[in-house]
Amino acid sequence: MTPARHRLARELLIAAGLLLAVAATRLPSFCRSVLDWDESLYFVMAEQWRAGHLPYTAIWDNKPVGIYAIFALFQALFGDRIAAMRIAGIVFVAAGAFTVYGIGAKITQSRASGFGAGILFVIGSLSNDGLADNTELFMAAFTALAVLVALSSLTAGGALLAGLLMGAAFMVKYVAVFEDPAILLLILSRHRLRRAPVLTLSTLCGAGLPLAATAGLYAAAGQWPVWWDASIVANFRRAGKDISPSALAYIWHVELLRWGPLFLCGAVLLAAAVPVAWRAAVTRRLHRAQAEHLFLALWLLGGCAGVAAAKSFFDHYFLQLLPVLCVAAAWVAQRIAHSGRGQAMFLAAVAALPLLAAGTALTDSLRPVLTWHGGHPSWRPDTPAQVAAAIAPALAASPGAAVYVFDDQPIIYSLAHRAPPTRYAFPSVLTTGFLAQVAGVDASAELARILAARPLFIIRRVHPVVSQNASNQAVYAALNQALADHYQLWRTDSGTEIYRLTNTPPKT
């Protein structure tokens, strides 16, 4: 076997190993139709897009179109079933892990250290709501790929490809933009100064292409104002909220318990970058290793800015930091341990706390669908699947009947094969005051419109998931009155209530 084929075989073996590790650890996610509220909305949005309705036109959300495009692609490949988005998650997490391996191997000049970084990525991706198919996992894969291309290519074409991947990350979640300056500086640092204009232009053209294509698509469809308000302006409205010091303190406490060693490696990387930056400023010279060190520091700072940008600090926001934190761990390992065994031991120690958090996440994912009877485990359908199965016969008998999921999981629409009766299918848009302001909707008027259409079933939680202080009490009062006047409680499944119109035969 030639050296080139040997290298290719080795890389394919590593890629297959990481893919197998990701698939094996995420198998429990296939048992649940819902792991996070957001993924349900993305799935329903993708279905509506495939039915001919551009995102934001039939269903409102404020994310970029990239996540819906990914979900729609995997639905087209694997069908309108939950497995489609679970497979998408596996593919992108495996791609992210392999890319992190490549970045770590190039920066540390050690494939073993790079592989350790890739394994850390697999482990870390299981906690912080990483089992769910959240946007940050897909965005991180594109960003990491852009970094790997920037490290691997010294051509204008490579800069264009890196920019295109940066643009793809941006169109999955806009906060990717905070990491882009670091990647551009990495590209420029690897070339002569006279090539800076060409490389900058190539990178920016690639980065802007996905956004330009999206804007052109909506302009051609006559839906530019809808896209602009939902996907652009709404995000500025959302970012206008104040930071809650108590929420910030709580989430950082939780994060340290999950990824504490990874954050420590990031802190060491940043601290060590200060004297390097100072010497570079004084001598005006920067060696390759120094440039890569400063790049990692800037990449980490950009990721931190992305996490903080929305001011909400949900735990899945921290997944944006996972690629650079894993590479930082490999970088620190190389500097404190000179032997391969020492580096492996260090990375194993770093992985201990994230591994514990991953185990907790996996256990929590199984709890709703795994029960014990007589000392033996037994499986049962999860609640959204049970609800959809329960209402299926009545819906089959009434093809035009609507279902309204008031404050439960939007995935029920998909499982029941019904389009939402409202553009605001994500329940919190109507049940909370904050998201109603972000969406620019009169929640009470929209609920009145939905109820006037007399959906056959209304599905709600026994105990609302939003606190009483955050909920829109007028909306809840109007729904309660409508249920009392026109509906009867038809069935209850694990905290979910199904109400049916009273002018239809009751369930026996």
Are 49 and 77 contained in the same domain?
yes
Are 415 and 274 contained in the same domain?
no
Give the C-alpha separation, 116 to 346, whole Å.
10
The reported pLDDT for the residue numbered 133 is 94
Estimate the crossing angle of helix 37-50 against helix 82-108, to 10 degrees.
110
Residue 404 included in any domain? yes
Q: Residue 499 forms beta bridges with which residues?
A: 458, 489
The reported pLDDT for the residue numbered 191 is 74
CA nearest neighbour of 112 among 296, 349, 354, 345 = 345
The reported pLDDT for the residue numbered 507 is 47
Across the beta sheet with 496-501, the strand order is 403-405, 457-461, 496-501, 487-493
Q: Which domain holds residue 454?
A: 383-501
The reported pLDDT for the residue numbered 247 is 72
Which residue has tokens 């199904």? Answer: 498
The reported pLDDT for the residue numbered 289 is 84
Are 97 and 28 contained in the same domain?
yes
Residue 7 included in any domain? no
In this structure, is the dihedral angle defined by the CA atoms of residues 325, 329, 335 and 336, taken in order, positive or negative? positive
DSSP for 435-453 reads HHHHHT--HHHHHHHHHHT
Are 152 and 70 contained in the same domain?
yes
Q: 234 to each of 228, 229, 424, 439, how far by Cα in Å?
A: 8, 6, 14, 6
Are 160 and 38 contained in the same domain?
yes
Give the C-alpha separation, 11 to 101, whole Å.
10
Residue 4 included in any domain? no
Which tokens in the block code for residue 508?
């026996």
CA nearest neighbour of 312 among 246, 230, 247 = 247
Are 359 and 291 contained in the same domain?
yes
The angle subtended at Cα 504 by Cα 502 and Cα 506, nearest 5°, is 75
The reported pLDDT for the residue numbered 288 is 82
**Kind plus residue range of the DSSP H or E element containing 257:** helix 245-283
The reported pLDDT for the residue numbered 219 is 96
Number of domains in the chain: 2
CA nearest neighbour of 177 among 212, 215, 213, 204 = 204
Give the C-alpha separation, 417 to 502, whole Å.
23
Estimate the crossing angle of helix 245-283 against helix 288-309, to 10 degrees.
160
Which tokens in the block code for residue 4?
């080139």
Are 414 and 296 contained in the same domain?
no
Are 361 and 434 contained in the same domain?
no
pLDDT tens-place string over residues 106-139: 999 989 999 999 999 999 999 999 999 999 999 9
Q: Which residues of the chain fall below pLDDT 70?
A: 1, 193, 368-381, 467-469, 504-508
Are 238 and 277 contained in the same domain?
yes
Which tokens in the block code for residue 196?
């800076």
Task: Give the domain-ending residue among 336, 366, 396.
Answer: 366
